[in-house]
Amino acid sequence: MPEIDDRPSPAGEAVVLSPGSPLFNKYELGKLLGCGAFAKVYHGRDIESGQSVAVKVVNKNRLNNNVNLMANIKREISIMSRLRHPYIVKLLEVMATRTKIYFVLEFVKGGELFARVAKGRFSEDLSRKYFQQLISAVSYCHSRGVFHRDLKPENMLVDENGDLKVSDFGLSALADQVRPDGLLHTLCGTPAYVAPEILSKRGYDGARIDVWSCGIVLFVLTAGFLPFNDPNLMNMYRKIYKGEFRCPKWMSPDLKRFLSRLLDTNPNTRITINEIESDPWFKQGYTQPKCHETEDLSTVAKEEQQQQQQQRKLLDLNAFDIISFSSGLDLSGLFHDKPRPADYVERLTAEELPEKVIEKVEEAVNAENGGVRLRRKKDCGLELEGQNGNYIVQLEVYRLTDKLVVVEVKREAGDANIFSDLWKDKIRPLIVRRPEQQVSGD
């Protein structure tokens, strides 16, 4: 694979690639769509399918000295890889070089919701439509233990069908981040959208602060301005904490009542997602989104996946696990300086069925007849013990796709150098069809 040139590119231009080499031989990058302090987003095209994508490029060098940002990136990958909902931007793939991380995302053609409302407030019916879609997405996230924590029109896109797509999960939290008091404590969010309990610094419920932010979004869509705003940040926080806002006269009485429940400064009495979905104003014209885009997360799909795992005896990997398999893509290794492991490890890819890989290893070892003992493991793996126990090596096979597996070889005991010749000369050539398929050799 031709190397990617990671030199900085001028604003407005695509990432610089070596001549004739698309990004990872998979995507052509086009114009710059947006730019932040640590990332740029480009329009891209899948070379094989012709599908448009968005490619978010994160500069690792700017993350190395910021522990919080490093954690956010890893968490964002982990979170987005598990979310599949019609009103949430889909993460298609994550790739990396030594200096950059590439998020390949669903391309949403219509741009930010903020850009639309900035031109003028929406009708109550249109605002309700977007709010219904927002609540559908947020409810889905909460059911999977994900709290967005930065919901605002700038983080919402509109597709070519006029439907909402929630994006930017960089500040999201997972349920396992909740402290023993049952609350989250990290101060985050956009000032005009933060809930009053965040300002109190005594901890907060992730679901309830998302509801508050949804209330701010609904107010902005129907009013055309923020409910809490002041040139002086402390004055704005004071208004938020006291819940001082006024609804414009063009809002219907039902909407005003509904907003008062969404923007209740007391999180314990604030309306919940379930109560929102039962509210008369919310329910007007509401239909549940089609679930075909979330089938992979349905109960049926989970059961099917479990059956496949039992049949194949494999460990399936999500996008975050795949990244961590290579020293070139291992986020933890790139974020923190740490010594190379003493164990002999090699990881490579092969276009082969997992069971076939195991058979090939057994074939190579048996043909060598060098006193190596083989023991099959519970999952798709082998333990190889050298003559007189001079080494023990574990070999595991993990499925990446229907056609691609990762083979991991790791020393458990003894001297792996004794095993090295057998591996390189006899076993490895049988597994790898083309040398360029190797992912890494640590």
pLDDT, tens digit (0-9, with 9 covering 90-100), for 227-279: 999 999 999 999 999 999 999 999 999 999 999 999 999 999 999 999 999 99
Mean pLDDT of the 181-210 span: 90
Q: Which residue has the tokens 């290579």?
A: 326
pLDDT tens readout for residues 417-427? 888 888 888 88
Cα 365 from Cα 83, distance rounded (Å): 43
Measure CA 279 to chain center.
Answer: 32
Residue type, 36: G
Helices (H) and strands (E) in the chain, counts: 15, 14
Question: Which pLDDT value is given to residue 259?
Answer: 97
Q: Which two tokens stand for residue 293?
A: 């885009």
User: Was domain 113-295 assigned CATH 1.10.540.10?
Assistant: no
The whole-chain average pLDDT of the chain stands at 80
Question: Which pLDDT value is given to residue 67?
Answer: 65
pLDDT at residue 371 greater than cutoff 50:
yes
Higher pLDDT, 65 or 135: 135
* Structural domain spans, the chain: 1-107, 113-295, 319-437
Q: Quick one: pLDDT band at residue 65, thresholds 50, 70, 90? A: low
Measure CA 77 to chain center.
Answer: 3
Q: Which two tokens stand for residue 366?
A: 């048996």
Q: How far apart are the first and last CA of the chain?
A: 19
> Which residue in 5, 6, 46, 150 is the catalytic one?
150
pLDDT at residue 98 greater than cutoff 50:
yes
Predicted TM-score (pTM) of the model is 0.65
Q: Is the separation of the CB atoms in 4 and 17 below 8 Å? A: yes
Identify the three-state secondary structure at position 222: helix
Active site residue 176: no
Half-sphere exposure of 12 (CA within 13 A, CB side): 0
pLDDT at residue 366 greater than cutoff 90:
no
Question: Which pLDDT value is given to residue 1?
Answer: 30
The beta strands (E) that lie in 167-271 are given as: 173-174
CATH number for domain 1-107, candidates 3.40.50.2300, 1.10.3720.10, 3.30.200.20, 3.40.50.720 = 3.30.200.20
Q: Which CATH architecture has domain 319-437?
A: 2-Layer Sandwich (3.30)
Question: Which pLDDT value is given to residue 20?
Answer: 41
Angle at 372 between CA 366 and CA 377, to 5 degrees: 90
Question: Which pLDDT value is given to residue 351?
Answer: 81
